[in-house]
Structure 1
Amino acid sequence: MGGWSRDDIPAQHGRRFIITGANSGLGAETAKAVAAAGGQVTLACRNVAKARTVAEQIGPAATVAELDLSDLASVRAFADTVDEADVLVNNAGIMGVPYGRTIDGFEMQMGTNHLGHFALTALLIPKITERVVVLSSIAHRFARIDVDDLGYDRRTYRRAIAYGDSKFANMLFGLELARRFEAAGSSKIAVLAHPGYASTGLLGKTETTFDYVMKAGDLLRVGQTPAMGALPQLFAATSPAARNGTYYGPRGLGGLRGKPTVARTRRAASDQDLRDRLWSESERLTGVEFPAV
């Protein structure tokens, strides 16, 4: 991959992208870069006002649609408005929030980061012609996921662990989707990415000592800009070289910063039984049965 950058994005003329959470941070940078290369982008966001500001910066190539991933009714309503798209980028996410429940009763981080995207992808997959990009995180390494207790009904809630659980769920979902595409002989692909340590609006809001670690990282300039952090998912979304079931992230400082390269997943990510159980539980909780891919 060498020193892949935004300048290496191939022409995207005629291609249509749906990018969740594109009102700020990594999603906004992804939308801007795709549109600059000629693509048409739908900014699917909960905060429509902020999304419109980004869309105005992009110009006619951008449209805004309301999507609240913590509300399955909103997910269904948005999916009903989509006719067809080439690429779905599952970018949106929340991090380190206090314990809370979504409208549908899910733990807030798992419900927003994983279950909302799972339902959205299931509803849109017949309309996606080329690829799905799933955004995970280096925090997946710290997950202690319990498929039988995704809502923290029995476990003690810890914000950082719950965030890691949700991002590991993203990873398990993306890898399993890729496996199912391959098994079905589909031309579609699922590609995974993570931004490393990108200084976005997600950081510094956990109200725990983790905030001080993040602040120290910024002061020491460990973190990178959202534009740099978006490179792995831009590669995953636009490059002909992106491979089904492959996980991309920054190459430097143990995956914290730098140009994109192939990243490593946890050994547990290859546990087929764990993937199958998460998939089934996600279908049960959301009430959305994933169609044949």
Structure 2
Amino acid sequence: MSTWTTADLPDQTGRTIIVTGANSGLGAVTARALSRAGARVILACRDTAKAERVADGLPGAEVRALDLADLNSVRAFTDSIERVDVLINNAGVMALPLRRTADGFEMQFGTNHLGHFALTNLLLDRVTDRVVTVASVAHRIGRLDLADPNWEQRRYDRWLAYGQSKLANLSFAHELQRRLAGEGSAVISVAAHPGYAATELMSHTESIQDAVMWLGNRVFAQSAEEGALPTLFAATAAVEPGAYYGPDGFLGLRGKPARASSSGAARDRAVAAELWELSEKLCGLI
């Protein structure tokens, strides 16, 4: 059993770390812990007012606007970055009613995957250490429909759409590591998931499910502080390139950081390569 906690965080003095979605939940906890460990943390957020409240009192913390649901915002953000040691792709939306990003993508696929895909690729030449992508146990219910990733032809299902977006996150993280290794890069790609953690993410379905998940947060979930540990471990510890980390308890829902298992679909190299090529086209990167 793992015993790793924030007390085991290595000194981050002199390192610059970007955390997307750091205005609340797991992102806010992650940003605070890294700042206290000495890092210069850039809170990359759509809601900059909330992010400023998180950053208040954190030495070296800086807030910059980033809307992952708008590729113009992603490009503007990346243009403002000179160098970063660690990029943490943390931000996400979950189980929303059908809506679309500024670029016309289904909101969950567009925000959770495509926004982070574009962000990572546009920043990669300035990343010195690693990229951490936050996935979810929900990747197991996902299916990558690369013929209709934006739910334009299928009947929309909010949970299957969320599962698809998180499967895309994990598939992307694995494929990124393969490409970095193939280029002989010292930069690594790592994935993490929080298990079942109580955060605001679970209160924006705009349905009766919000009440159900509120109860689940109160009764079953671990805290956001516990849920952020796998991300912090993946971002700072001596990890295996391309690996996936999550809680070590029952079904990976709670516990301390350890190697996690992923679905066969997440490890499908052919699909991952196809997803990468499609994402490049959708994001206008080729």
TM-score between both structures, scaled by the size of structure 2 = 0.97
Distance, in Å, in 1 between the alignment partners of 2:54 and 2:75 is: 24
- In structure 2, the residue matched to 1:97 is 96
**Aligned residue in 2 for 1:233:** 231
- What does residue 43 of structure 1 align with? 43
Could you report, residue by residue, the CA deviation over 1:21-51 in whole angstroms, capped at 9, with x for unpaired residues? Answer: 0011111111100111111100000000000
Report the residue type matching 1:233 in the other structure.
Answer: T
What amino acid is aligned across from residue 162 of structure 2 in structure 1? Y
CA distance in 2, matches of 1:207, 1:20: 23
1:84-126 deviation line (CA, Å, top 9, x unaligned): 0100000000111110111101001100000000000010000
The offset of 1:212, in angstroms, is 4.9
Query: 1:88 aligns to what SS in structure 2?
Result: strand
2:221 corresponds to? 223
Residue segments in structure 1 that go unaligned for 5+ positions in a row: none
CA distance in 2, matches of 1:140, 1:284: 23
The residue aligned with 2:180 is: 181
Aligned residues: 286
Distance, in Å, in 2 between the alignment partners of 1:57 and 1:194 is 28
C-alpha distance in structure 2 between counterparts of 1:216 and 1:53, whole Å? 27
Letter of the aligned partner of 2:241 in structure 1? N
Query: Who is 1:274 aligned against?
Result: 271
* Separation (CA, whole Å) in 2 of partners of 1:168 and 1:148: 16
CA distance in 2 between counterparts of 1:10 and 1:115 reads: 31
Cα shift at 1:213:
4.3
Confirm or deny that 1:111 pairs with 2:110.
yes
The SS at the match of 2:10 is coil
Structure 2: distance between partners of 1:21 and 1:212:
23
What is the distance in 1 between the residues matched to 2:209 and 2:21? 23
Partner of 1:24: 24
The reply to whether residue 197 of structure 1 matches residue 196 of structure 2 is yes
The aligned residue for residue 141 of structure 2 is 142
Aligned counterparts of 1:266 and 1:134: Cα–Cα separation in 2 = 16
| C-alpha distance in structure 1 between counterparts of 2:151 and 2:87, whole Å | 29
Amino acid at match of 1:9: L
Task: Tell me the CA shift for residue 204 of structure 1.
Answer: 3.1
Query: Distance in 2 between the 1:105 and 1:83 partners?
Result: 29
Hey, what's the Cα distance between the residues in 1 that align with 2:241 and 2:209? 34
Q: Which amino acid aligns with 2:216?
A: G
Structure-2 separation of matches of 1:250 and 1:212: 25
Q: 2:189 and 2:278 mapped to 1: Cα distance?
A: 20
**Per-residue deviation, 1:205:** 2.6
- Aligned CA RMSD, in angstroms, stands at 1.2
Long gaps (5+) in structure 2: none
Q: Does 1:52 align with 2:49?
A: no
What whole-Å deviation, never above 9, does each CA across 1:130-161 have from its counterpart, x for those lacking one? Answer: 10000000110000220111110111101011
1:246-261 aligned within 5 A: 246-261=243-258
Write the deviation string for residues 52-74 of structure 1: whole angstroms up to 9, x where unpaired: 0011032x310000000000000
Q: How far 1:209 sits from its partner (Å)?
A: 5.7
User: Which segments of structure 1 move beyond 6 Å, counting only runs of 4 or more?
Assistant: none
The aligned residue for residue 127 of structure 1 is: 126
Give the equivalent residue in structure 2 for 1:154: 153
